[in-house]
Amino acid sequence: MAYQKRPASSYQPCDTFFVESYDDFPAPRLEPKEHARLIARERQYAIADELSKITSEEFRDDILAHMLDMDTATLPDVESIDIQTEIQWFMRPYLLDFLIEAHTAFQLLSSTLFLTINLLDRYCSKRVVYKRHYQLVGCAALLIAAKYGDKKDRVPTIKELKSMCCSLYDDDMFIQMEWHVLQTLGWTIGHPTVDNFLQMAVMDCPYDAEVEHLSLYIAEISLFHREFVSKPSSDLARASLALARCILNRTQPRHTEWASQYDSMTLVGLSQQLHQPSQVLSRKYSSAHYSRVSKILEQFLARQASVASYTPPSPPSDVVPAESKPYEGEIGLATPQKAPQSSTMAHGYITPPITPENEVFANGGNPTFAKGVAGTSACSPSPTPSPSVPYTGAPSYAQEATYQQQYLQPQMSFSTGY
């Protein structure tokens, strides 16, 4: 640093000026060998990137075919979950909210969340799960998924999971449940998740953060609903991507691309579940990190509702309307109207479900998802804690409110920042 005075001939109102001088601190110079080594390393990186790109294009079809085979082989069976004697569908949104908060707190990969839910559903498809163990199975699935795909320093510890559950379970119970989940699934953990197929679908497209984030948001909304539990991840990825592009008014892919081959029924089903997303999920995607796509979706739905409720004014008419007469078959007097028909649409599940007080969510309220099945299950139950655990003698729950208060209330004390 140096201060230099201007000559008298170039006098300005400010008689000094600030300059930076490196005379006293010369820039470091690399040795010729070190300089050549850096140049060679950069060339190697460039060559590796080019070869990786060429190889990925050459084997892309084989990779996609293998992912589709794995997707089909590792799907959960929703009908097997239906016959669970204690687990009911209204419990699912509460557990998913807990897992989403834990996933966000540990800053895990997006694929970890989808893999966690897949492991949870696959386990519930093969084992009888007690109510008091439902959250424990979810924590074990999160632990396995994080170990499978995330960095080692991001993987939650048993102590942290125990703290999230407010010491409801012992350390040994987490380890025992983790081992039991792996044994039940035959140590087959790998599953191509929705975000993996999304990356394949947008590989040749320019990066669009809003489209990708909104697609993930729609895909995570689908995790809360029974109708998408056994849906292949490839179908969910293509349908959510097409729906996100439609909402954001982006161009759809060409008909020759794989992303354009989405299932229209899956897209319609996803569009019907966008109106009442989970508050935890909506808060997660309202951050700038996810392009605030939950706010964008809310504004889009508000515009659609305003357009649907708009009634155009009737044009003025000078003709005095004649007295209306019932239609008796005369031509020109009236237009025959179709008789109104009652809707046969089945009751959907709200996301997240408000604690119900009626009988719709109770046993027998909806015969389609009734849990009471005569006879005993051939599946072996999940590991039962030792008699020393204080909650083993807990009574069975007949209503959702009791379940939320006694078993899911501790998770409300775990707060995360977004």
Q: Measured between alpha carbons, how far is 94 from 98 in angstroms, rounded to an integer?
A: 6
Domain positions in the chain are: 77-191, 192-307
So what's the pLDDT on residue 10? 47
Share of the chain above pLDDT 90, in %: 12
SS (H, E, C) 192-241: CCHHHHHHHHCCCCCCCHHHHHHHHHHHHHHCCCHHHCCCCHHHHHHHHH
With a CB cutoff of 8 Å and minimum separation 6, the contacts of 279 are 97, 352
Query: Which residue in 158, 137, 160, 140 sits closest to 148, CA to CA?
Result: 140
In degrees and rounded to multiples of 5, residue 18 shows phi and psi of -100, 125
**Which tens digit of pLDDT belongs to each residue from 166-176?**
888 888 888 89
DSSP code, position 260: G
So what's the pLDDT on residue 164? 86
Q: Give the alpha-carbon dihedral of 196, 193, 353, 169, to 10 degrees.
A: -120
So what's the pLDDT on residue 17? 47
**Token duo for residue 40:** 């060679």
Find residue 2's DSSP bridge partners. 19
Q: Confidence class of residue 118 from pLDDT cuts 50, 70 and 90?
A: very high
So what's the pLDDT on residue 122? 92
Averaged pLDDT for residues 396-400: 47
Q: Measured between alpha carbons, how far is 73 from 393 in angstroms, rounded to an integer?
A: 38
Q: Measured between alpha carbons, how far is 49 from 208 in angstroms, rounded to an integer?
A: 22
Q: With 0.85 as the threshold, say if the pTM is over it.
A: no
Is the confidence at residue 3, as pLDDT, over 70?
no
Find residue 17's DSSP bridge partners. 4
CATH architecture for segment(s) 192-307: Orthogonal Bundle (1.10)
The three-state secondary structure class of 50 is helix
**Which tens digit of pLDDT belongs to each residue from 296-326?**
888 888 888 888 776 667 666 555 555 555 5
Q: Measured between alpha carbons, how far is 416 from 106 in angstroms, rounded to an integer?
A: 9
Domain 77-191 matching CATH 3.40.50.12780: the answer reads: no
DSSP string, 140-166: HHHHHHHHHHS-GGGSPPHHHHHHHTT
What is the number of alpha carbons within 13 Å of residue 303 lying toward its C-beta? 8
| Bond before 352 cis per omega within 30 degrees | yes
Is the confidence at residue 397, as pLDDT, over 50?
no
So what's the pLDDT on residue 365? 44
What's the mean pLDDT when you consider all of the chain?
74
Averaged pLDDT for residues 182-189: 90
Q: Confidence class of residue 343 from pLDDT cuts 50, 70 and 90?
A: very low
